[in-house]
Amino acid sequence: MIVEKNKVVKFHYRLSEPGSDVFESSYDADPMLYLHGHNNMMVGVENSIDGKQAGDTFSVTLAPEETYGLVVEDAKQRISIKHVIKKSKAKIKYKPGMLIQVNTSDGPRDVVVIKAGLKTLDVDTNHPLAGKTLCFEVKIIDVRDALPEEISHGHVHGEGGHQH
């Protein structure tokens, strides 16, 4: 089955910068799933997968505009520490350069700590990979027709049904 709009694509990937080692891979976990043609995937990755089929393996190098975007210089913000998503109840000592997740009105977001105070953090809200050219190695595992409910909701409901 060919990847086109309204198909569910299951794939593995490896991610690196040009000339560097792989720093992220899905091969140690479940493959990624997304509904093709519904803006659920970075535009460059989705465009490179379009027209492929299960079993295809390929590499693509993408500019920042096709992945996480360019660095926005005025994307710094002061937030309350209470918005940080903690993985445990242990007290955390926040330091500049630390990658954390914060709750936003649009859901969890990765940010980088610029400065830490007692009750607030100055953070850079650019994605940590913004401004970087990225190399993706992709293996298409499966392609299937999306269910009518997935199409109407605009996203995949995952293995076994509805998962919100």
- Single pTM value for the model: 0.81
Residue among 29, 23, 21 nearest 12 (CA): 29
Q: Residue 1 carries which DSSP code?
A: -
pLDDT of residue 144: 97
- Least confident range of 13-17, 42-46, 76-80, 105-109: 105-109
Q: What's the CA gap between 69 and 82, in Å, rounded?
A: 28
Q: Under CATH, which number does the domain 7-68+130-153 receive?
A: 3.10.50.40
CATH 3.10.50.40 residue window(s) in the chain: 7-68+130-153
Contacts of 128 (CB under 8 A, 6+ apart): 99, 110, 112
What is the C-alpha to C-alpha distance for residues 111 and 90, in angstroms, rounded to an integer? 20
Whether the predicted pLDDT of 129 surpasses 70: yes
The per-residue DSSP string of 69-111 comes to: -PPPTT-EEEEEGGGBPPSSSS-----TT-EEEEEETTEEEEE
CATH class of the structural domain 76-124: mainly beta
- Reduced to 3 states, what is the DSSP secondary structure of residue 162? coil
Each residue's pLDDT tens digit, 15-38:
999 999 999 999 999 999 999 999
Q: Where in the chain is the domain with CATH 2.40.10?
A: 76-124
**Averaged over 131-155, what is the pLDDT?**
96
**What is the rounded distance in angstroms from the CA atom of residue 72 to the CA atom of residue 124?**
9
